[in-house]
Structure 1
Amino acid sequence: MTTPVVTGIGRLVTTDPALGAGGPLGLLAAAAVVMAGGRIAGVGPPRRAPAADTRVDAAGRAALPGFVDSHAHLVFAGDRTEEFAARMSGRPCRAGGIRATVAATRAATDAALHATAARHVREALLQGTTTIETKSGYGLTVHDEARSLAVAAAHTDETTFLGAHIVAPEYEDDPAGYVELVTGPMLDACAPHARWIDVFVERGAFGEDQARAVLTAGAAHGLTPRVHANQLGPGPGVRLAVELGAASADHCTHLTDADVDALAAGNTVATLLPGAEFSTRAPYPDARRLIDAGVPVALATDCNPGSSFTSSMPFCVAVAVRETGLTPDEAVHAATAGGARALRRADVGRLTPGARADLVILDAPSHVHLAYRPGVPLVHAVWRAGRRVTR
């Protein structure tokens, strides 16, 4: 087992407020990182770094924890380019939306689904994402949801059962029957492959009572709730998420004062997905309002073929700074420690002894360049669990 040591780091983001000059990023200047056994063994001045069989000089570059993408949809087939092009040009489009992806995913082979998921996980890793969650939700049959989660579990850290994405086409006239399927045979087949259960609480998807039934059934199977909440308009999603102890309420675009108060009083993270607003020309969430109310915030990509086809956390950091009111420091924290909190993980999103050794070196002197230089490939090197995964 090698013991990598990275020295010469100009500015190191640890996300440990006890380190450095304080503040949520725990910034250290002129730092080194020691890794051993896939974990962080130490951070601090380079002069204290031990001898090592693998030594890397960061040459003054900035470093930070690997990004934690706590919301993605990577198991799918098909392409929705036509839908995106129509939306961007203001033309109506009848390409089918989520249902088009459902049809393509059902028709795809297991090998094709594995290849797509692996490609996007690798793509994200090369952009600094070392922890990623992915959901089912494009199968909507017992068989296709279970195989989607089996594919997800083969490629990602965290898997979420999202049978309640939309009502399956064959149940269009019987949504109650579909909820019975999701909370019965589908949940039985999918729970062994998942840690989380999610539901899209929105007009045109699932209402409050239906969502409550899905989430409570999932909890009875040992799955912790997450909620697609308040994306397209005001609704009950955020408050339901807090009431049921969900780890996160995701999107949070349209919030009332009562929603913000509920989040501030609870333990549910508000996960913002600015890639979706970018790709749909929808209003952006008001992150400043959440931060000022004391609500914990995460950033994630929402990578999916329809409304946010990006796997780039650096892109989402830049958009969040430009459009949601987050400062560069807050956005980097939300993309690392915030995502870890949304996944209830204490071993990722930080660079402190005992954490998993997920380290990203930027080809820049500061983490602020992630927002300052949008669209520039700044990731210079990535380690995941102590293993370098880039050249």
Structure 2
Amino acid sequence: MTITALTGISQLVTNDPGVETPAAGHHAPLGVITDAAVVFDDTRVLWRGPERELPEGFADAVVDVGGRSVMPGFVDSHAHLAFAGDRADEFAARMAGQSYSAGGIRSTVANTRAASDEQLAANVRRLRDEALAQGTTTLESKSGYGLSVLDERRSLEVIGRFTAESTFLGAHVVPPEFADRPDDYVSLVAGEMLDACAPHAKWIDVFCDRGAFDVDAARTILTAGIAAGLAPRIHAGQLEQGGGIQLAVELGAASADHVTYASDADIEALASSSTVATLLPGAEFSTRARYPDARRFLDAGVTVALAADCNPGSSYTTSIPFCIAVAVRDMLMTPGEAVWAATAGGAAALRRTDVGSLRVGAAPDLLVLDAPSYLHLAYRPGVPLVRSVWRGGAVVSSRAS
């Protein structure tokens, strides 16, 4: 087992506020250490602090990052990677003025059902690698484009090859063959489909919104999933204000995602719960919808995460740096708040304590930025700042100068 030290770090983001360099002047929960070093093996962070305090001879290998900044790997807690085809024409139509609705999901279902397992796996692998190169070291992915017992199960089997954070989303929309029998589809999802999919998933999710599933159907499905041993999360409040956020709190969901339309009562309920509000700026960007006001959540004390929502219809991006820049520009977050939400916030949305920080004992998943500060993620939008990505204590992606 090799012990590695990264030195020459201009700013080290630890997400451990107890080690904040007093004069750093940054978002306190980031735990920024200036002129820093971090030491890790292949399983955990062993030490981090000012480089001048680095114990001599502690590491087997020393890597000088040359005045660059280092931070935890991004934790993307919301993605839909198991699909086939794309919806570029739909995107173009939206940019020409057509509104977005949940019904567009059905156009991906036929392509996904027709794809082989290996074709689905190739797409998940491509998008996983794309995300990794941009700094995402922990990634969740949902099913939801099969919408049959067979296709949902095999989607989850494919997802399981690439991440342990797999989510059963049979309740994405009602498929065409059940258009006149939505109650029968709810029974299928909560019954036979759940039985087939639960062994291959960690989470269960429902799209609780206009054009998808109402609160009663969502409660039925999520409650069945909980009984089957899956942990709940929910899509809520993307298209209109409804009862999805309150349902998430009622059921102890790990996260309520989108939450673009949230009442004061919704925010109060989130603030008094352990449910994370996961904001997905890529969806608003790609649908020309209104952005959620992150300040309402943050100022109320809600735990906030940022995720990319990679999917072929409403947010075809794997770039968390892009999402950070949009959140700062259009959702009233500070750069520090956005970085925390994309790392520690994402970890909270997955109920993980081993990722999203560089505390001693945390997983050695981190990235090196071609910049002296994390501030550049929002300050230099669209620029490929992620120079190298480390996961499990080893370099898994790097970009030459």
TM-score normalised to the size of structure 2? 0.95
Query: Measured at CA, do residues 94 and 222 of structure 1 come closer, stay the same or move farther in structure 2, by a change above 3 Å?
Result: closer
Deviation track 1:131-180 (CA, whole Å, cap 9, x = no partner) reads 00000000000000000001111012300000000012111100110011
Percent identical: 64
Q: Could you tell me which amino acid in structure 2 is paired with residue 35 of structure 1?
A: F
Deviation track 1:169-225 (CA, whole Å, cap 9, x = no partner) reads 111100110011001110001001111000000121101110000000000011111
Deviation track 1:335-370 (CA, whole Å, cap 9, x = no partner) reads 000000000000000001111100111000100000
CA distance in 1, matches of 2:107, 2:85: 8
Query: Measured at CA, do residues 93 and 266 of structure 1 come closer, stay the same or move farther in structure 2, by a change above 3 Å?
Result: closer
| Structure 1 residue ranges, 4+ long, deviating more than 6 angstroms after superposition | 92-96
CA distance in 2, matches of 1:332, 1:356: 18
Q: Of the candidates 382, 386, 391, which is equivalent to residue 393 of structure 2? A: 386
User: Is residue 276 of structure 1 aligned with residue 262 of structure 2?
Assistant: no
Aligned to 2:2: 2
Aligned to 1:102: 109
Q: Indicate conservation of the 8 Å contact 1:249/1:270, yes or no.
A: yes
CA distance in 2, matches of 1:301, 1:190: 24
User: Is residue 159 of structure 1 aligned with residue 166 of structure 2?
Assistant: yes
Q: Indicate conservation of the 8 Å contact 2:215/2:247, yes or no.
A: yes
CA distance in 2, matches of 1:277, 1:317: 13
SS in 2 for 1:155: coil
Aligned to 1:211: 218
Q: CA deviation at 1:46?
A: 2.2
CA distance in 2, matches of 1:106, 1:205: 20
CA distance in 2, matches of 1:95, 1:13: 38
User: Is residue 188 of structure 1 aligned with residue 209 of structure 2?
Assistant: no
Q: CA deviation at 1:20?
A: 1.8
Aligned to 1:131: 138
CA distance in 2, matches of 1:225, 1:280: 26
CA distance in 1, matches of 2:100, 2:355: 41
Query: Measured at CA, do residues 290 and 93 of structure 1 come closer, stay the same or move farther in structure 2, by a change above 3 Å?
Result: closer
Aligned to 1:248: 255
Deviation track 1:55-102 (CA, whole Å, cap 9, x = no partner) reads 211111111000000000000001101000111122589997211110
User: Is residue 41 of structure 1 aligned with residue 46 of structure 2?
Assistant: yes
Aligned to 2:313: 306
Q: Indicate conservation of the 8 Å contact 1:83/1:95, yes or no.
A: no
Q: Indicate conservation of the 8 Å contact 1:86/1:93, yes or no.
A: no
CA distance in 2, matches of 1:93, 1:70: 23
Query: Measured at CA, do residues 93 and 188 of structure 1 come closer, stay the same or move farther in structure 2, by a change above 3 Å?
Result: closer
Q: Indicate conservation of the 8 Å contact 1:145/1:190, yes or no.
A: yes
Aligned to 1:12: 12
Structure 1: gaps spanning 5 or more residues: none
SS in 2 for 1:154: coil
Query: Matches of residues 201-240 of structure 1 in structure 2 within 5 Å?
Result: 201-240=208-247
Q: Indicate conservation of the 8 Å contact 2:42/2:394, yes or no.
A: no
Aligned to 1:117: 124
Q: CA deviation at 1:385?
A: 1.2
Q: CA deviation at 1:267?
A: 1.0
Q: Could you tell me which amino acid in structure 1 is paired with residue 195 of structure 2?
A: D
Q: Of the candidates 347, 352, 356, which is equivalent to residue 349 of structure 1? A: 356
Q: Indicate conservation of the 8 Å contact 1:38/1:387, yes or no.
A: no
Query: Matches of residues 138-153 of structure 1 in structure 2 within 5 Å?
Result: 138-153=145-160
CA distance in 2, matches of 1:107, 1:118: 18
How many residue pairs get aligned? The number is 391
Q: Which moved more, 1:52-61 or 1:170-179?
A: 52-61
CA distance in 2, matches of 1:313, 1:246: 23
Q: Of the candidates 274, 279, 282, which is equivalent to residue 267 of structure 1? A: 274
CA distance in 2, matches of 1:51, 1:232: 53
Calculate the aligned-residue CA RMSD, in Å: 1.5
Q: Indicate conservation of the 8 Å contact 2:99/2:287, yes or no.
A: no
Query: Measured at CA, do residues 269 and 95 of structure 1 come closer, stay the same or move farther in structure 2, by a change above 3 Å?
Result: closer
CA distance in 2, matches of 1:227, 1:92: 23
SS in 2 for 1:389: strand
CA distance in 1, matches of 2:317, 2:100: 21
Aligned to 1:76: 83
Q: Could you tell me which amino acid in structure 2 is paired with residue 187 of structure 1?
A: L
Q: Indicate conservation of the 8 Å contact 1:121/1:156, yes or no.
A: no
